[in-house]
Amino acid sequence: MNKTSRAPLPYNPKVLDLFRNPKNLGKMEDATVTAVAGNPSCGDMITFYLKINEQEIIEKASFESYGCAANIATSSIVTEMIKGNTLEEAWKVTWKNVSEEVGGLPTVKFHCGILAVGALKRAIRTYYDRKKVSPSWLPREHTFEEKQALEEEELAKVLSKRMKAGE
């Protein structure tokens, strides 16, 4: 067990507002691409739905989230931030932008913003993978957010294996 403090989570009004009235919530039936990040066993999982037109502009974005208030708020804000963006513009969104956009997150909740951006980047990659094209701006290497999402998912696997083994 670690020594993390349990000071009350000081969610700011923007996070609270997005938690209470999330924008772009729900499954999108006509999504061009869907991406998932996180794992329910970590208590954090996001699904992103993007509707992308022929000009590679995100016409619609929506989300579903199994997660805490920060997870819900950051997922929601990402869908707001990228609406109308080209995929190249959307790719430039970082977890820091997301955190700023929701007015800052408590330190222990940074990973929620990272996961939201990880899911977005995964969705964009999936889109191009499927088209079998690779635009010059799309790095081959995973970005920080994608790596973090993978790490969190890997950790979830390790933890549940450990649990099953009765350790």
Partner 1 sequence: MVENVKELLKAHEGLKHEVYLDIENASPVPAEILEAMLPYYNKYAYGNPTLTHKPGWEAFEMIMESSQKIADHLVCKSLEEVNFTPGETEANNLALIGTCLSKRGKGKNVVISEVEPISIMEITNLLKSYGFKTVKIPVDDEGLIKLEKLKEVINKETILVSLATVNHEIGTIQPVREALKIVKDANPETIFHTDASDTYGKIPFNVKDLNIDLATISSHKILGPRGIGVLYVKTGNNVERILEGQIGTQKLWPGIENTPLIVGFTKASGLAFQNFEKNTNHMRKLRDTLIDGIFEKIPSVRLNGPKGDKRAPDNANISFLKCEGEALTIELSLKGTYVSSGSACSRRLLQPSHVLVAIGRKFEEAHGSILMKTTRIHTEEDINYALEVIPKAVERIRGITGSTGVE
Q: Are 123 and 28 in contact (CB under 8 A)?
A: no
Residue 6 touching partner 1 (CB under 8 A): yes
Positions 13 through 32 that interact with partner 1 (CB under 8 A): 13, 16, 19-20, 22, 25-27
**Among the candidate windows 1-9, 51-59, 93-101, 122-130, which touches partner 1 by CB under 8 A?**
1-9
The separation between CA 158 and the C-alpha centre of its own chain, rounded to angstroms, equals 21
Closest distance of CB 100 from partner 1, Å? 15
Catalytic status, residue 68: no
Give dist(CA 43, CA 61) in Å, integer.
23
Instruction: Based on the shown chain and the rule CB under 8 A, indicate whether residue 161 belongs to the binding site for partner 1.
Output: no
Which DSSP symbol is given to 25? B
Q: Which residue has the tokens 């995964």?
A: 122
Residue 38 near residue 44, CB atoms below 8 Å: yes
Rounded Cα distance between 66 and 17, Å, is: 18
The two tokens of residue 19 are 């938690």
Q: What is the footprint of partner 1 within residues 121-150 (CB under 8 A)?
A: none
In this structure, which amino acid lies at residue 72? I
Token couple for 105? 């997150």
From candidates 51, 56, 68, 138, binder to partner 1 by CB under 8 A: 68
Selected from 31, 61, 64, 149, the binder of partner 1 by CB under 8 A is 64
Q: Which of 42, 70, 77, 81 is catalytic?
A: 42
The residue with tokens 């772009």 is: 24
| 100-119 residues near partner 1, rule: CB under 8 A | 108
User: Which chain residues interact with partner 1 by CB under 8 A?
Assistant: 1-2, 4-6, 8-13, 16, 19-20, 22, 25-27, 36, 38-47, 64-72, 108, 155-156, 159-160, 163, 166
Write out the catalytic residue numbers. Answer: 42, 112
